[in-house]
Amino acid sequence: QVQLVQSRAEVKKPGASMKVSCKASGYTFTDYYIHWVRQAPGQGLEWMGWINPKSGGTNYAQKFQGRVTMTRDTSINTTYMELSRLTSDDTAVYFCARAFSAWNCDSWGQGSLVSVSS
Amino acid sequence: QSALTQPASVSGSPGQSISISCTGTSSDVGGYNYVSWFQHHPGKVPKLLIYEVRHRPSGISNRFSGSKSGNTASLTISGLQADDEADYYCFSYTSSRLGVFGGGTKLTVL
């Protein structure tokens, strides 16, 4: 069955970077885009961007341009989302999601809580 | 890219029907048929209910239906059940090849 398994929770200092991984199994990794979405405490879902695992092509929400980098390693069916220059506003649960037809997110990772605190 | 506009909350009694609206612009909801709806129980993983405006993934009850008129998409839940109490989000593709969520709607089953 389709599974997306994300890295464990992290605590980061302001100004540091974070890198969350998302390992896919149960399907052909390069056939589906991966989107990254976050949810800050008490807030709604926020779209961050996508990566095409086949080409490595990416597109990021304007809010995160210059701070976010999404990459993939096709040898281990894993995508990564790196966010730099962290502030307390980046404290959130980060989700990866598989998307068919590029935009339909049908399977989600379990979420990775990243807390940013001094 | 501004978030799509959803009502903050809706409520209904068991067995009733409710609708949640999602208003965007011609650059997102109104311009494309890539509108999705997700159900999100707090602490759990979002669940895809509707994709491409009106299509249900396998395993999703036909109590959930989607539609669109102009720049506004809608999710209708019929035969409300206690377990439907959750947060609901719309999501749309945009002209910049970006995505945008709605602000979310909290559904209370009375």
Cα–Cα dist B1/A46, whole Å: 11
CA distances from A30 to A69, A74, B100 (A): 18, 8, 24
- Specify the pLDDT at position A4: 98
Q: Which residues of A touch B45 (CB under 8 A)?
A: 95, 108-111
- Cβ–Cβ contact A104 with B under 8 A: yes
Look at residue B1 and tell me whether its pLDDT is greater than 80.
no
Q: Do B101 and A97 touch (CB under 8 A)?
A: no
- Specify the pLDDT at position B2: 82
pLDDT digits (tens, 9 = 90+) for B32-74: 999 999 999 999 999 999 999 999 999 999 999 999 999 999 9
Q: E strands, chain B, where?
A: 9-12, 18-23, 35-40, 47-50, 64-69, 72-77, 86-93, 99-101, 105-109
The H or E element spanning position A11 is strand A10-12
Cα–Cα dist A3/A72, whole Å: 16
Interface contacts A/B by beta carbons within 8 Å:
60
What's the DSSP call for residue B55? Answer: B
Region B10-24 average pLDDT = 97
**Residue A61's closest CA among A79, A49, A44?**
A49
Tokens representing B102? 């709605």
How far does the CA of residue B106 sit from the closest CA of chain A (Å)?
A: 10
- Specify the pLDDT at position A62: 94
Query: What's the N-to-C CA distance of chain B in angstroms?
Result: 35
- Specify the pLDDT at position B77: 98
Region A9-36 average pLDDT = 97
Q: Which residues of B touch A45 (CB under 8 A)?
A: 38, 40, 46, 89, 91, 101, 104
Tokens representing A117? 């605190």
Look at residue B96 and tell me whether its pLDDT is greater than 90.
no
CA distances from B49 to A37, A90, A105, B37, B64 (A): 17, 28, 10, 6, 7
Residue B52's φ and ψ, nearest 5 degrees, are: 45, 55
Question: What percent of chain B clears pLDDT 90, i.e. is strictly above it?
Answer: 93
**Residue A115's closest CA among A80, A89, A83?**
A89
Strand bridging mode B9-12 / B105-109: parallel
Region A48-58 average pLDDT = 97
- Cβ–Cβ contact A9 with B under 8 A: no
Tally DSSP H helices, then E strands, for chain B.
0, 9
Q: Which residues of A touch B103 (CB under 8 A)?
A: 44
Q: Average per-residue pLDDT in chain B?
A: 96
How far does the CA of residue B24 sit from the closest CA of chain A (Å)?
A: 15
For B42, which residue in chain A has the nearest alpha carbon?
A: A42
Region B101-109 average pLDDT = 97
Q: Do B36 and A37 touch (CB under 8 A)?
A: no
For A51, which residue in chain B has the nearest alpha carbon?
A: B98
- Cβ–Cβ contact A5 with B under 8 A: no
pLDDT digits (tens, 9 = 90+) for A92-115: 999 999 999 999 999 999 999 999
Question: What percent of chain A clears pLDDT 70, i.e. is strictly above it?
Answer: 100
Strand bridging mode A10-12 / A104-108: unpaired
Question: What percent of chain B clears pLDDT 70, i.e. is strictly above it?
Answer: 99
